[in-house]
A and B are shown apart, each in its own frame.
Chain A
Amino acid sequence: MDPVRKRTKDLSKSVDSAHLAPFPDEVLEKVLSLVKSHKDRSSVSLVCKDWYNADRWSRSKIFIGNCYSVSPEIVARRFPNIRSVTLKGKPRFSDFNLVPQNWGADIHSWLVVFAQVYPFLEELRLKRMVVSDESLEFLANSFPGFKVLSLLSCDGFSTDGLKAIATHCKNLTELDIQENGIDDLGGGWLSCFPETFVSLEVLNFASLNSDVTFDALERLVSRCKALRVLKVNKHISLEQIQKLLLRAPQLMEVGTGSFQQELVPRQFAELETAFGSCKNLHTLSGLWEASSVYLPVIYPACANLTYLNLSYATLQSDELSKLLPNCSNLRRLWVLDTVEDKGLEAVGSSCPLLEELRVFPADPFDQDMVHGVTESGFVAVSSGCRKLHYVLYFCRQMTNAAVATIVKNCPDFTHFRLCIMNPGQADYLTNDPMDEAFGAVVKTCTKLQRLAVSGLLTDKTFEYIGKYAKNLETLSVAFAGSSDRGMQSVMEGCPKLRKLEIRDCPFGNEALLSGLDKYESMRSLWMSACNLTMNGCRQLAKNMPRLNVEVIKDEESDDSEADKVYVYRSVVGPRRDAPPFVLTL
């Protein structure tokens, strides 16, 4: 089928008995190709030259966590047979508007190289990259076997670019467009899939805001028999989703459109039947503006659900309490804080297998709100859901005691992201800092990989983290700490730290420089609105030539201050596409 480039035999090697491979290269390559995880592949390549080469030739998937850590040319030189690329670009805080426009992370230069070297490229998954319509068109026309396009939190393109993909990618199996800063010029792109196109397996356009032609969508769903994931946007009505479900009862993941429509009893019954007919359905999302009146139509599907995303449905506690007893198999649940503590109690009592909970704020900017969730909701979930290991929790009040109870109930946390929305807020019962809360987390949860802290925190929190968080890889800090000592504790501990992002903390040059020995083993460091100066950053850059130390200049700030600093390791030196407001020191 597709020609895989073969390596030419290195004859001198096989003759030299001291280097005789235990078995032929092809066998080694075959064995190694069964090693899937990119971390394991990386380890494999470090064993010896033979294994490095075997990995090189057999690697078909590549993951690049920071697009500026390496160049497309180097990738192309090392790996001749890549079919699948995952690339991440901007620092995570760009999701929260902390990175200016035109910062970089443009995919185009990568695509140009890939078009030359990997004509058989099949998959491209991008996160926080800039993608233009031209790039999408170039992509659609350069890779005849292209199958998977996944864009998460990207920006720079419009629905015109999607038109090109739909028109030209004859073998497309996945189109997943999530939460991008996209110019939505209309839903016509969906109609660009030709009538002969039948290969789609995954279609997610939930976050696009304009109307697609329902007729075209229905026909597309009908003819793509292998479709297993369908997530539509909020313009698709209840009646329409019913028709789609009837066409595709094999669906495993469904994102509905709007759940608000006047339905007559017959339509209600038809919807129930439609949901009931999807025997493979395990993931349900969308449910925009779902109300208690129509939520029961999903009950027939609830018993099999493992992932339910209600984060766009403003459900109240009683509505959730009625729904959840039907969903005893849930592993992942996303909700809005409109469900309040009572709703979370229902979670604790109805979903014993729950592993992941995310509670988003319905009204994050409303300071006067007395609603939302508190520490008791979280405690209730932890006491009923002992397998909980991933939590993202936005709340307006928390106590040290509650967190201690929570981690005692659930010691297996791998991801603990707590956001007390008022910056620097203390334990509301004792007025103490929240140090002991996070101390309990890191002491108890030995498997902790990701931690986001909030509330009033002194250096003590960071001493705990540095001392106990042996497996911590990602740490997010905001409005916390008392002095350089805080950040230093983290830099001196946390042996597995890879990503550190800090904003609005009193950490200065001494703290920055305390991590000199660590940054090369990390993917990146972000520090904004801290106490760094240009001189401190220059010193870091001088001492560590293999790091890129980038300062994003703020027009209003003093020349000596370094308001936003992004430090990352790279094998290609300073990037050449840096905009004028980014200084590489």
Chain B
Amino acid sequence: MESINIQEEGLNLKATELRLGLPGRDETEKETIFSFKNNKRAAPKSTEDNESEANSDAKHGDHEAAPAAKAQIVGWPPIRSYRKNNFPPKKAEAEFGIYVKVSMDGAPYLRKIDLKVYNGYADLLRALESMFKLSIGYYSEREGYKGSEYAPTYEDKDGDWMLVGDVPWDMFMSSCKRLRIMKGSEARGLGCGV
């Protein structure tokens, strides 16, 4: 609707400050930024438009969103913060690629796991061991998974193959795209100098 467009024009800079993506962030306080002064200033204008629209025959019910992404209006729709912050996740796969494929050298097909269900590396490795019926052993910073038959590796966001365990768990969760369990003999080269 035209009135909304007018509000948008004045809001460009501030609009980019706000996240337009999925809700669920902790910092909904950002929405209390009173950046919608223009929103208010536009109100008198918008009412004229409303009136003329209401009166004219050519009422265009253009209630589709304007081509540019709509800026979020503070406190609208009127949903309590608690509900906004705790929206249940969509049933479809989460955006962050938490479901990752796991391949094992020599296995006929791949598996898929949800990284979010694990508490940390130990949990993940035990799960992989159980899933593929193998042993991975223990991680050490200096020697990787030296001594074990298999080593878990992952492809990160840059497309590089990394040894599982080097970075903090949270960082791993957000950068891991897929897992590959390598045979120890191949992995030895990865144990140092990654």
- Chain A residues engaging chain B, CB cutoff 8 angstroms: 93, 95-98, 100-101, 153, 179-181, 207, 288-289, 291, 311-314, 316, 336, 360-368, 394, 397, 419, 421-428, 431-433, 456, 458, 476, 478, 481-483, 503-506, 529-531, 554-557, 561, 563
Residues of B within 8 Å of A530, CB to CB, are 43
Residues of A within 8 Å of B90, CB to CB, are 314, 362-363
Q: Are B54 and A557 in contact (CB under 8 A)?
A: no
A144 smallest CB distance to B (angstroms):
32
Q: Are B23 and A483 in contact (CB under 8 A)?
A: no
Q: Are A422 and B63 in contact (CB under 8 A)?
A: yes
Residues of B within 8 Å of A504, CB to CB, are 39-40, 43
Smallest CB-CB separation from A364: which chain B residue?
B77
Assuming the contacts A95-B78, A432-B59, A557-B37, asked whether A482 and B83 have C-beta atoms less than 8 A apart, the reply is no
Q: Are A506 and B63 in contact (CB under 8 A)?
A: no
Count: A-B pairs, CB below 8 Å: 146
Assuming the contacts A97-B74, A362-B87, A423-B76, asked whether A428 and B63 have C-beta atoms less than 8 A apart, the reply is yes
The yes or no answer to B80 lying at the interface (CB within 8 A) is yes
What are 18 residue pairs bridging A and B, where the CB atoms are less than 8 Å apart in the complex? A95-B80, A95-B81, A97-B32, A181-B81, A207-B86, A312-B88, A363-B22, A364-B79, A366-B22, A367-B70, A425-B1, A428-B63, A529-B36, A529-B40, A531-B43, A531-B44, A555-B34, A556-B37
A10 smallest CB distance to B (angstroms):
50
In the bound assembly, the distance between CA atoms of A198 and B144 in angstroms comes to 53
Q: Are B79 and A361 in contact (CB under 8 A)?
A: yes
Q: Are B34 and A314 in contact (CB under 8 A)?
A: no
A511 smallest CB distance to B (angstroms):
12
B133 smallest CB distance to A (angstroms):
19
Q: Are B79 and A424 in contact (CB under 8 A)?
A: no
The 3 closest A-B pairs by CB, nearest first: A96-B75, A431-B61, A506-B47
Q: Are B63 and A426 in contact (CB under 8 A)?
A: yes
Task: Enumerate B1-32 residues with CB–CB distance to A below 8 Å.
Answer: 1, 3-4, 20, 22-23, 28-29, 31-32
B130 smallest CB distance to A (angstroms):
13
Q: Are A289 and B4 in contact (CB under 8 A)?
A: no
The yes or no answer to B107 lying at the interface (CB within 8 A) is no
Residues of B within 8 Å of A428, CB to CB, are 61, 63
Residues of A within 8 Å of B91, CB to CB, are 291, 314, 316
A320 smallest CB distance to B (angstroms):
14
Q: How many residues of B contact A (CB 8 A)?
A: 49
In the bound assembly, the distance between CA atoms of A504 and B36 in angstroms comes to 11
B47 smallest CB distance to A (angstroms):
4
Q: Are B81 and A97 in contact (CB under 8 A)?
A: yes
In the bound assembly, the distance between CA atoms of A424 and B78 in angstroms comes to 14
Q: Are B37 and A483 in contact (CB under 8 A)?
A: no
Q: Are B65 and A554 in contact (CB under 8 A)?
A: no
Q: Are A361 and B81 in contact (CB under 8 A)?
A: no
Q: B82 touches which one: A179, A314, A364, A426 (CB < 8 A)?
A: A179
A97 smallest CB distance to B (angstroms):
5
Smallest CB-CB separation from A99: which chain B residue?
B32
Q: For chain A, what secondary structure do more than half of its interface residues adopt (helix, strand, loop), or is it mixed?
A: loop
In the bound assembly, the distance between CA atoms of A277 and B64 in angstroms comes to 50
- Looking at A96, A100, A427, the one whose CB has the most chain B CB atoms below 10 A away is A96
Q: Are A424 and B43 in contact (CB under 8 A)?
A: no
Q: For chain B, what secondary structure do more than half of its interface residues adopt (helix, strand, loop), or is it mixed?
A: loop
The yes or no answer to B158 lying at the interface (CB within 8 A) is no
B53 smallest CB distance to A (angstroms):
8
Assuming the contacts A98-B75, A314-B91, asked whether A424 and B50 have C-beta atoms less than 8 A apart, the reply is yes
Q: Are A96 and B78 in contact (CB under 8 A)?
A: yes
Smallest CB-CB separation from A291: which chain B residue?
B91
- Looking at A98, A316, A428, A505, the one whose CB has the most chain B CB atoms below 10 A away is A98
Q: Are A426 and B61 in contact (CB under 8 A)?
A: yes
B65 smallest CB distance to A (angstroms):
4
Q: Are B78 and A289 in contact (CB under 8 A)?
A: no
Q: Are B81 and A313 in contact (CB under 8 A)?
A: no
Smallest CB-CB separation from A234: which chain B residue?
B86
Residues of B within 8 Å of A423, CB to CB, are 4, 73, 76
Smallest CB-CB separation from B70: which chain A residue?
A367
Residues of B within 8 Å of A360, CB to CB, are 79, 83
The yes or no answer to B89 lying at the interface (CB within 8 A) is yes
Smallest CB-CB separation from A452: which chain B residue?
B78
A46 smallest CB distance to B (angstroms):
36
Q: Are B1 and A365 in contact (CB under 8 A)?
A: no
Residues of B within 8 Å of A311, CB to CB, are 83
Q: Are B54 and A458 in contact (CB under 8 A)?
A: yes
Smallest CB-CB separation from B47: which chain A residue?
A506
Residues of A within 8 Å of B60, CB to CB, are 431
The yes or no answer to B131 lying at the interface (CB within 8 A) is no
Q: Are B63 and A98 in contact (CB under 8 A)?
A: no
A89 smallest CB distance to B (angstroms):
15
The yes or no answer to B69 lying at the interface (CB within 8 A) is yes
Assuming the contacts A423-B73, A504-B40, asked whether A554 and B34 have C-beta atoms less than 8 A apart, the reply is yes
Residues of B within 8 Å of A368, CB to CB, are 65
A77 smallest CB distance to B (angstroms):
36
The yes or no answer to B148 lying at the interface (CB within 8 A) is no
In the bound assembly, the distance between CA atoms of A525 and B141 in angstroms comes to 64
- Looking at A100, A504, A506, the one whose CB has the most chain B CB atoms below 10 A away is A504
Q: Are B79 and A288 in contact (CB under 8 A)?
A: no
The yes or no answer to B51 lying at the interface (CB within 8 A) is yes
A424 smallest CB distance to B (angstroms):
6
**Additional pairs, 14, CB under 8 Å, beyond known A96-B74, A424-B1:** A97-B31, A97-B74, A179-B80, A179-B81, A181-B81, A289-B88, A363-B87, A423-B73, A426-B1, A428-B63, A431-B59, A482-B54, A531-B44, A561-B40
B56 smallest CB distance to A (angstroms):
11
The yes or no answer to B72 lying at the interface (CB within 8 A) is yes
In the bound assembly, the distance between CA atoms of A428 and B63 in angstroms comes to 8
Residues of A within 8 Å of B22, CB to CB, are 363, 365-366
Q: Are A482 and B50 in contact (CB under 8 A)?
A: yes
Q: A313 touches which one: B43, B59, B65, B88 (CB < 8 A)?
A: B88
Q: Are B75 and A97 in contact (CB under 8 A)?
A: yes
Residues of A within 8 Å of B73, CB to CB, are 423
Q: Are A556 and B34 in contact (CB under 8 A)?
A: yes
Q: Are B76 and A554 in contact (CB under 8 A)?
A: no
